[in-house]
Amino acid sequence: MGELTDKAIAILLISLRIAPTLGFSPPFTLVRVPALVRVFLAIGLAGWLVAARPGENWQADYRTNGLFLTAIGELLLGIALSLSLQLAFAALFTAGRTIDVQAGFGMAMLIDPTTRTQLPLVGTLFAYAAGAIFFATEGPTDLLAIWSESLDQVPLGSAALGGDITVLSSYISAVFVMAFGLGGLVTLVLFLSDLAIAFMSRTLPQMNVMLMGFQVKAMVMLAVLPIALALSGSLFLRMLRYALETAPRLI
The torsion region of residue 158 among left (phi > 0), alpha (psi -120 to 50) and beta comes to alpha
Q: pLDDT higher for 246 or 65?
A: 246
Q: Quick one: pLDDT at residue 61?
A: 66
Average pLDDT of span 65-84 = 85
pLDDT at 1 over 60: no
- Assign 91 a pLDDT band (cuts: 50, 70, 90): very high
CA–CA gap between residue 101 and residue 91 (Å, rounded): 16
Quick: pLDDT tens for 101-159. 888 776 666 666 656 667 778 888 899 999 999 999 888 999 999 998 888 888 777 76
Q: pTM of the predicted model, to two decimals?
A: 0.84
Q: Quick one: pLDDT at residue 108?
A: 61
CB within 8 Å of 237: residues ≥ 6 apart: 133, 137
DSSP per-residue codes, the chain:
-HHHHHHHHHHHHHHHHHHHHHHHSTTGGGS---HHHHHHHHHHHHHHHHHH-GGGTTTS-TTTT-HHHHHHHHHHHHHHHHHHHHHHHHHHHHHHHHHHHHHT-TT-EEEETTTTEEEEHHHHHHHHHHHHHHHHTTHHHHHHHHHHHHHHHS-TT-------HHHHHHHHHHHHHHHHHHTHHHHHHHHHHHHHHHHHHHH-TTS-HHHHHHHHHHHHHHHHHHHHHHHTHHHHHHHHHHHHHHGGGG-
Three-class secondary structure assignment of 28-82 = HHHCCCCHHHHHHHHHHHHHHHHHHCHHHCCCCCCCCCCHHHHHHHHHHHHHHHH
Q: Across all residues in the chain, what is the average pLDDT?
A: 82
CB of 30 within 8 A of CB of 176?
A: no
CB of 201 within 8 A of CB of 207?
A: yes
Q: What are the domain boundaries of the chain?
A: 2-183+232-250
The torsion region of residue 109 among left (phi > 0), alpha (psi -120 to 50) and beta comes to beta
- Assign 174 a pLDDT band (cuts: 50, 70, 90): very high
